[in-house]
Amino acid sequence: PCTTPDNAPGECILLRECHSLREMIAKKVDGATEFVRQSVCGYVDVNSLVCCAFPTNKSTSNKENKRTNNKHLLPSRKYCGLQHSDDYSHDTKSSAITEFPWLARLLYRSGLNSKTTYRCQGSLINNKYVLTAGHCVAPWIYVLIEVRLGEFHAANDTDCVLENGIQECSDPVIDYTVNKTIIHPDFNVEMRENNIALIRLNGEVQYSDYIRPICLPLPDTKFPNIGDTMTMSGWGLINHNDTTATIKKKILMELISNEDCKERYQVMRVFNADNYLCTMILENSAEHSCVGDSGGPIMVSHRLQWRQEGIASFRTDCGPQSINVHTRVQKYLEWIEESIEP
């Protein structure tokens, strides 16, 4: 037993095991660093032990109240996950101009030479938040500076295509600066565990045919069956020679069991399988996932309404039949509801 700097009873444990302190750090609470320093209560080898407050019924109740109050912040099923491209027939092997309107591109500035590049994807989940992978916003030499919505062709601000003899032109892309990022408090960058984060945008997103949110699974939503086709999209590399996609890709993949995943990709044996889902790129997929597609949504369509089941985390390789590992969104619904704000 120990006492925290604010005189609460607690236990002396490793910092990585203390959810409340990790949450303070992740949310960049004022004075968090000093509070953690004052919480040190011992050492194991070179690792610090901290006095971690016992959870209280009040804190649990506050979280439950916040989740209840924040449920309305997620988009209505009346319009989330709906895309205009499902209203007409088109080439199913490549993306249409109105397809995946929730897809976001993340722009970074290098701390080495100030060069800006798009390095990750994300998905719009309401009019202020984008969901992505934790490693896409974790501190590194690249700093996230902008989120782009409404993109189709990477070289154009506005796109026009001919569909069934009718020319359709998109609205201009919209770039949003970043208000703040929220990384899961238990994210482990080396192991890619709890690899999930939220980006709060500066400004409120106005929905259109080219920008709208995707649905998230409900707690009781039936998980897809092994062998079901899932879809991924992004502007990552199209091969190993640093050529990035100009038009958002449409990547078809098959859900495989976690047991099969561990056999094919042995690094998965150390992970908590419940928090992940694994897919294999279909041989007949015209496009494949690669470097730069991280953070993007893994999607399924049910009755022409799309929902996000996963977040692209890491892969064995680029190309057909490569194994892709994704953060399972359904396991983090409570954290998402606790973290978003009006």
Residues 251 and 173 in one domain: no
Residues 247 and 151 in one domain: no
Beta strand pairing status for 297-302 and 229-232?
antiparallel
Determine the Cα angle at 262 with ends 260 and 263, to 5°: 65
Report how far residue 114's alpha carbon sits from residue 111's, in angstroms, rounded to the nearest whole number: 6
Residues 139 and 190 in one domain: yes
Residues 86 and 42 in one domain: no
pLDDT at 157: 86
pLDDT at 283: 81
Report how far residue 35's alpha carbon sits from residue 27's, in angstroms, rounded to the nearest whole number: 14
Q: What is the pLDDT of residues 104-133, one digit of tens each?
A: 999 999 988 889 999 999 999 999 999 999
- Which segments in the chain show pLDDT lower than 70? 57-69, 86-93, 239-241, 267-271
For residue 244, is it within any domain? yes
Residues 39 and 86 in one domain: no
For residue 28, is it within any domain? yes
pLDDT at 253: 92
Side chain identity at residue 250, one-letter code:
K
Report how far residue 209's alpha carbon sits from residue 96's, in angstroms, rounded to the nearest whole number: 12
Residues 141 and 36 in one domain: no
Report how far residue 341's alpha carbon sits from residue 330's, in angstroms, rounded to the nearest whole number: 19
Residues 129 and 243 in one domain: no
Residues 146 and 28 in one domain: no
pLDDT at 241: 67
Side chain identity at residue 182, one-letter code:
I
pLDDT at 15: 85
Structural domain harbouring 141? 77-90+97-213+333-339
Q: Can you read off the two tokens belonging to residue 263?
A: 């056999």
Residues 203 and 84 in one domain: yes
User: Is the separation of the CB atoms in 237 and 294 below 8 Å?
Assistant: no
Quote the distance between the C-alpha of residue 167 and its chain's center: 33
What's phi and psi for 275, nearest 5 deg? -95, 5
Could you tell me the pTM of the whole model?
0.80
pLDDT at 338: 93
Q: Burial, 243: exposed, middle or buried (Cβ in 10 Å; 0-12, 13-18, 19+)?
A: exposed
For residue 72, is it within any domain? no
Residues 145 and 181 in one domain: yes
Integer angstrom CA distances of residue 34 from 39, 52, 129, 342: 9, 14, 29, 29
For residue 45, is it within any domain? yes
Quote the number of domains for the chain.
3
Quote the distance between the C-alpha of residue 276 and its chain's center: 13
Q: What is the CATH number of the domain that holds 310?
A: 2.40.10.10
For residue 222, is it within any domain? no
Q: What is the CATH number of the domain that holds 51?
A: 3.30.1640.30
